[in-house]
Structure 1
């Protein structure tokens, strides 16, 4: 019997007429019409706060299962982002109809389908709906699709929305589409759906009080998967405070399974039932949470990840404690590593969480951060399409017929670099044609298995070598990482899963059966009789060939991608020469990745799985201060064999020498005093005259080294040859010969200047101004300061002993004003040298005064 009282209590009912007008026009009570003036827009954005019934009442009304009974019965598909939410929503709707799931309301999630021949409302995960669209683009028999919790911006949900808009535009304009959420970018979704109407429902009237409960002491911000234990201890204390200050059950949001376990360990004596809810929780635990505290008769503390944010009403909850953290996928495309990162919750996520407290009565949310921090939170979660591995998305787009995804209606376009990396992966596993990007027959088959393309490749190729059942079992381990208690040895984890009856083991067996069925009949391949260790290693290497790794030290490995990896302390894998790394992540501050799960392999398996990365050729480079030439066989970044080269290619040697010069500098060349002087003269002319006179700074010379060092460089073979190279002769090639200016070098910047005594004195050009250092007596009679290229030289006047006596850039002024003091100081010390009263008219000399 339909529970009419419960249905009438759902506030979203007041928005239903507007929603039906938006979808169908004229109240939505007549025969379905194509979208248009008489048939409504056909799409709508439904904004309804938590607890209003958008997930449960709206599908029932649109399907014609509740209401006045005069409308047509329509087939409705509701897409949820998570399996737990899909099951819960279907069971709730069935309960409202007085039925069990599988009658008029059913659900389908990966590995579980509960529907019957009378089912008209089916709740599915977005991943299931994506697969269904690829098999049947028209969605034959479906009248309405509701994308629930679209604010979470999961990649599958964004992709489904884009495909459905394609279907409406090209095949089925009569298909209705609703984007529903409690907190969403309504304007953005409305634009995406073709300026669709936005229908808003009033929320539950129960107020939720906000209590700001930040830690008393500083907390380190999250890094990667790491959360400061100080924060977790504080969260546990806030839960205790909430139990003491408020009535009802407590729902506490934490970022992940590990944090849930640690907080649960600190709440062992709270006098309440402590339940842990996450995506891996057994179905019995999930059912117990949704059953409410009445079933146990005790107050409850429910520790949950983000799975409890949306689509679930947890009965009895009056208090929410929010740690303020969430987990988001991140991908390092350069290294081929994916990981979850701990981030601050968004404002939309915080509102969703707080709403759990006010679903049945007035409630309270304790937020473990300050009000000032709250305004700085991001408005919405990061769209997964911006940060995640796009290989699965790229394969779906290719199978849809749009390899570049340029024709898809997406709120956010995929980043070009990430999409290119994804397409490279797909081409490597044979899922798409490398030239056109279009899906191959193999790629279509891979897309329908419901796995990441890497894992689909491992399943299909592994099945032909080790048999379908064994390949499916290993891939099932890779598709959902086993508990850390299973260890980091993939083969050992496989044996543990086979022997355990825990929740993970049950899910693993169910998934292995599904994958074996999807892959087809078991095949007795050439490796069918191999050991568990070799099978696990082969399948993992097929899935992640770029992560095949060779030992390079105690517990340290180098992956063929070039990424370093390190085993944890006490790992059972230590000592293995080769590993197939299945799970690894790279902490934000770490140099190498942490190997979380791997299998031992041999070199033959490494060559087999990563064969497309094998290369052999001559490698000539600058290493350890000299040219090293060798023939190398590589598997990506890993060297398999090395042999010295006796006659390396001259071009490669030349490039290595240039690299050495750029690394170690021009000091590798031979620089005489004359060569240094030439360089200084050229530098002076470049600064003062410009034009074609070359820049001879280190940076400029290194940049043009291949120009001015030829042909000497082509004849060199090693470091010692560079040391014998005449840099002065080479430098002269940079002079402006083509304009004729080169012939004026000695005129514009002479190496030496003749002074009145007849001496030819070297000019130093190394400083900001040319310097002429000469004995004072040799300049007698010179009234004006010498110039080079129009620039007065800086005259360093020396005593007869060659020591500095004075410095001037104005010789005439010095003779008038400065000379007298110098004469008075020095003529007593050097009586045999001339010291005339008027040096400007005296005769210059290099000789002693013979008068004594």
Structure 2
């Protein structure tokens, strides 16, 4: 087959100057790392060059479906061929590719599943990984998987990036000859002017991006929009739609177009193609257009400075996208879109100080995202948890362990993390493992059609006004809603992937399919209110007026964190759910079903019950006597969750702890640290016997902590405890006034003695404790024991303020002495007559 005409394809593209270096790396070493800025032409030129170096098909990954399709269409256009002939693409639900195609653009997920089906990637002559600097999870996994494939066979591999640390990638792809060769490229930018237009109101609040900020985005875009096209970046599809709606009213003569991943191919092509009208366009986009996708004709970029990143809330078993500050690298790439064709302008809707504080690079998804799908891929690849794989960033231990636990509960991996037969079946379905399991198992229980309908609704982040998933599926089935056509396409795709089973009719079947996907989100109502306890152990509440409140059992399809004061105090609001029966909960939650003895330290003592439960949801329980081991576990959990607050501090124990805290603060060793963290770290040392008593049923309130604390006293220094930090202080009247030592968590404060003023006559100097280091703070009281003065310098008080106190008090308390000379007057706690 004749080679590609690289001169014609690359006319005007700076990356032309790097083609010889790339050719030498591919033919000489079979591997290269390309670092070239956006707009240099690497996506256009590198694939055909590699195709000229190898016999067979070159597979090129792009980070998103719209970018993959656009890249294939552009290269096909430059080669004068139809899409699918010489150059084609494959994305989820869409394939344009003929048998003789030389270059195939795909999303990373497509190539991952090909690798799982054929670890040698037979039929592929070379692979080009584009835009790996975005650190998407699939791309990171692909890099490691392909590095291992290269150990099995000669597979030319090129990894391309705009901003990533190229030497690190080169090390991951190293072979016997050393790190992969680096290929650079000159930039392509014309002069770029950066302006700053921060919003007068906050960009985000607890609910997400604020309406006020989106109004600022729209008005700023309208103000700066001029002769060329404008590209405005906001973090998500909902923000895109809102800003587009406002701009259509603000700039009626401009063609205002949305661009995000939820649009259909035709709508996306309108934004990425040439103008349909002579008037300049405004394109409002997510980060789709940041680096992997070219929008022609842009001379102005307006950047909200925000992005969406996946986050996992391990405590609540929730995952989702959160809006965060974009990295400087991302904002630089966005701005560069304005200077591709000539001088451009970038308007950043943040302060310059926010730019300085922004993270330098994008956060790798592997460090923040839910790793359930990644864990299944790694298990199917034969490397559970990614152990031993050459990854840019290893998966965090806690996150990968949690993901493995989820897969185990779904029956997709065994206890050792090895993939099961069901796991292999799920891994062949291009969907989240939970949804794949719901499709495969749900088809057997309710029929293929209904299972595909529910899974399609769950996979596309769709919403229902009343939060009822069953009603949402019914509305989509009837064609209501603008997402219905996209949902129907996904249903058709999933139907082809699922086993063919006749549809079955059963009550609550929608909820059953959702519960198969998320058994940990099976929930049971708590009491008569809107609060539900999920099998995962967390609580969430239905919104006010929700239509599902009459259901005792539901499955939560979507839940969002919120202020802890709302959502019935749970801090989580249920946004989408479906009612289910107890029978369906038991069917879907079979992997979480347990029969065990559970002990808890609650209401002051350990109690034990034998329970039958779905996760945290108890179906039945029988009280039983607690054994020492089970009780000890309950005590340990309570201490881990609530710290030392589970203990009861008697006045004597609290007073001793305060004295020890002051001694440790002022003298240090050998006096023990009695802070919460220090005591928790030494529990067995000072509280061991008492913990055993609590574990076997002794009420916490009957455990006096005074003697256990004394076990921490150092010897022989302990003999000076009462001397250094006494409980009482002798005053001139002969009384021994109680000393109130400061709280254990504020040991630097002064010890306080509250005593009647008359009892201190003749005391010329304030006493000092702890080897004279700490003065006593006197609260001098009236005969009615009301405060008259606070001082740690009695000499100054007698010389000054006492005269005023005497003048005010002797008429009010005439029976008590108020001498002019407090220095020599006898101290007393009595009245003048009794004296």
Shared fold by TM > 0.5? yes
Q: 1:77 to 1:624 in 2, by over 3 A?
A: same
Alpha-carbon shift at residue 371 of structure 1 (Å): 3.4
Work out the CA distance in 2 between the residues paired with 1:11 and 1:57.
Answer: 10
Alpha-carbon shift at residue 220 of structure 1 (Å): 2.3
Q: Is the Cα contact below 8 Å between 2:607 and 2:626 reproduced in 1?
A: no
Larger Rg: 1
Alpha-carbon shift at residue 617 of structure 1 (Å): 4.8
SS in 2 for 1:410: coil
SS in 2 for 1:450: coil
Counterparts in 2 of 1:79-158, with a 5 A limit? Answer: 79-158=61-140
| TM-score, normalised by the number of residues in structure 1 | 0.75
Q: Is the Cα contact below 8 Å between 2:91 and 2:110 reproduced in 1?
A: yes
SS in 2 for 1:470: helix
RMSD of aligned Cα (Å): 4.7
CA deviation map 1:35-89 (0-9, x unaligned): xxxxx2221122233333221232223323xxxxxx7654211101100011111
Alpha-carbon shift at residue 472 of structure 1 (Å): 1.7
Q: Is the Cα contact below 8 Å between 2:35 and 2:162 reproduced in 1?
A: yes
Work out the CA distance in 1 between the residues paired with 2:658 and 2:326.
Answer: 62
Q: State the match for 1:790 in structure 2.
A: none
Q: 1:740 to 1:382 in 2, by over 3 A?
A: closer
Q: 1:11 to 1:579 in 2, by over 3 A?
A: same
Work out the CA distance in 1 between the residues paired with 2:534 and 2:10.
Answer: 58
Q: Which of 522, 528, 539 is 2:513 aligned to?
A: 539
Q: Is the Cα contact below 8 Å between 1:45 and 1:197 reproduced in 2?
A: yes
Q: State the match for 1:57 in structure 2.
A: 45
Counterparts in 2 of 1:573-588, with a 5 A limit? Answer: 573-587=548-562
Work out the CA distance in 2 between the residues paired with 1:375 and 1:474.
Answer: 45
Q: Is the Cα contact below 8 Å between 2:302 and 2:349 reproduced in 1?
A: yes
Work out the CA distance in 2 between the residues paired with 1:117 and 1:825.
Answer: 109
Work out the CA distance in 2 between the residues paired with 1:683 and 1:378.
Answer: 41
More divergent stretch after superposition (5-14 vs 691-700): 691-700
Q: State the match for 1:322 in structure 2.
A: 303
Counterparts in 2 of 1:102-251, with a 5 A limit? Answer: 102-168=84-150, 170-173=151-154, 175-194=155-174, 195-204=179-188, 207-215=190-198, 218-222=200-204, 226-243=208-225, 246-251=226-231
CA deviation map 1:319-371 (0-9, x unaligned): 21111111111111232211111112212212221222233333222221233
Q: Is the Cα contact below 8 Å between 2:410 and 2:591 reproduced in 1?
A: no
Work out the CA distance in 1 between the residues paired with 2:54 and 2:698.
Answer: 86
SS in 2 for 1:565: strand
Q: Is the Cα contact below 8 Å between 1:463 and 1:470 reproduced in 2?
A: yes
Q: State the match for 2:787 in structure 1.
A: none
Work out the CA distance in 2 between the residues paired with 1:715 and 1:292.
Answer: 77
Alpha-carbon shift at residue 154 of structure 1 (Å): 0.5
Q: Is the Cα contact below 8 Å between 1:46 and 1:198 reproduced in 2?
A: yes
The question of 1:512 aligning with 2:505 is answered no
Work out the CA distance in 2 between the residues paired with 1:51 and 1:425.
Answer: 42
Work out the CA distance in 1 between the residues paired with 2:654 and 2:311.
Answer: 54
Work out the CA distance in 2 between the residues paired with 1:348 and 1:112.
Answer: 32
SS in 1 for 2:312: strand
The question of 1:394 aligning with 2:375 is answered yes
Q: 1:46 to 1:622 in 2, by over 3 A?
A: closer
Q: Which of 500, 505, 514 is 1:529 aligned to?
A: 505
SS in 2 for 1:612: helix
CA deviation map 1:86-128 (0-9, x unaligned): 1111111111121111111110001111111221110111110
Q: State the match for 1:298 in structure 2.
A: 279
Q: Which of 10, 13, 22 is 2:13 aligned to?
A: 10
Q: Which of 20, 24, 29 is 1:21 aligned to?
A: 24
Work out the CA distance in 2 between the residues paired with 1:201 and 1:334.
Answer: 45
Q: 1:732 to 1:495 in 2, by over 3 A?
A: closer
SS in 2 for 1:267: helix
Alpha-carbon shift at residue 620 of structure 1 (Å): 5.0
Q: Is the Cα contact below 8 Å between 1:13 and 1:57 reproduced in 2?
A: yes
Counterparts in 2 of 1:533-612, with a 5 A limit? Answer: 534-552=508-526, 553-587=528-562, 591-612=570-591
SS in 1 for 2:99: coil
SS in 1 for 2:98: coil
Q: Which of 275, 296, 302 is 2:257 aligned to?
A: 275
The question of 1:445 aligning with 2:429 is answered no
Alpha-carbon shift at residue 602 of structure 1 (Å): 1.9
Question: What is the count of residue pairs matched by the alignment?
Answer: 730
Work out the CA distance in 1 between the residues paired with 2:56 and 2:695.
Answer: 80
Q: Is the Cα contact below 8 Å between 1:585 and 1:595 reproduced in 2?
A: yes
CA deviation map 1:368-391 (0-9, x unaligned): 123343233222210111111111
Q: State the match for 2:315 in structure 1.
A: 334
Work out the CA distance in 2 between the residues paired with 1:710 and 1:104.
Answer: 74
Q: State the match for 2:240 in structure 1.
A: 260
| TM-score, normalised by the number of residues in structure 2 | 0.76
Alpha-carbon shift at residue 197 of structure 1 (Å): 2.2
The question of 1:46 aligning with 2:34 is answered yes
Work out the CA distance in 2 between the residues paired with 1:648 and 1:713.
Answer: 11
SS in 2 for 1:63: helix
Work out the CA distance in 2 between the residues paired with 1:696 and 1:351.
Answer: 51
CA deviation map 1:766-797 (0-9, x unaligned): 8999x9xxxxxxxxxxxxxxxxxxxxxxxxxx
Q: State the match for 1:613 in structure 2.
A: 592
More divergent stretch after superposition (312-321 vs 621-630): 621-630
The question of 1:498 aligning with 2:477 is answered yes
Q: Is the Cα contact below 8 Å between 1:313 and 1:359 reproduced in 2?
A: no
Work out the CA distance in 1 between the residues paired with 2:135 and 2:659.
Answer: 66
CA deviation map 1:196-215 (0-9, x unaligned): 2222222335x142232323
SS in 1 for 2:386: coil
Alpha-carbon shift at residue 182 of structure 1 (Å): 2.8
SS in 2 for 1:574: coil
Work out the CA distance in 2 between the residues paired with 1:544 and 1:462.
Answer: 12
SS in 2 for 1:360: coil
Work out the CA distance in 2 between the residues paired with 1:172 and 1:680.
Answer: 70
Q: Is the Cα contact below 8 Å between 2:627 and 2:696 reproduced in 1?
A: no
More divergent stretch after superposition (494-503 vs 312-321): 494-503
Q: State the match for 2:359 in structure 1.
A: 378
More divergent stretch after superposition (704-713 vs 310-319): 704-713
Work out the CA distance in 1 between the residues paired with 2:664 and 2:35.
Answer: 70
Q: 1:651 to 1:422 in 2, by over 3 A?
A: closer
Q: Is the Cα contact below 8 Å between 2:611 and 2:618 reproduced in 1?
A: yes
Alpha-carbon shift at residue 304 of structure 1 (Å): 0.7
Work out the CA distance in 1 between the residues paired with 2:656 and 2:230.
Answer: 83
Q: State the match for 1:32 in structure 2.
A: none
Q: Is the Cα contact below 8 Å between 2:686 and 2:708 reproduced in 1?
A: no
Work out the CA distance in 1 between the residues paired with 2:182 and 2:669.
Answer: 68
CA deviation map 1:284-337 (0-9, x unaligned): 2112123321x2333211111111123322223222111111111111123221
SS in 1 for 2:69: helix
Work out the CA distance in 2 between the residues paired with 1:403 and 1:732.
Answer: 47
Work out the CA distance in 2 between the residues paired with 1:599 and 1:321.
Answer: 41
Work out the CA distance in 2 between the residues paired with 1:611 and 1:469.
Answer: 23
Counterparts in 2 of 1:351-750, with a 5 A limit? Answer: 351-435=332-416, 437-482=417-462, 484=463, 487-500=466-479, 504-522=483-501, 528-531=504-507, 534-552=508-526, 553-587=528-562, 591-625=570-604, 630-643=609-622, 649=627, 663=645, 703=683, 722=702
Q: State the match for 1:349 in structure 2.
A: 330
More divergent stretch after superposition (327-336 vs 675-684): 675-684
More divergent stretch after superposition (705-714 vs 629-638): 705-714
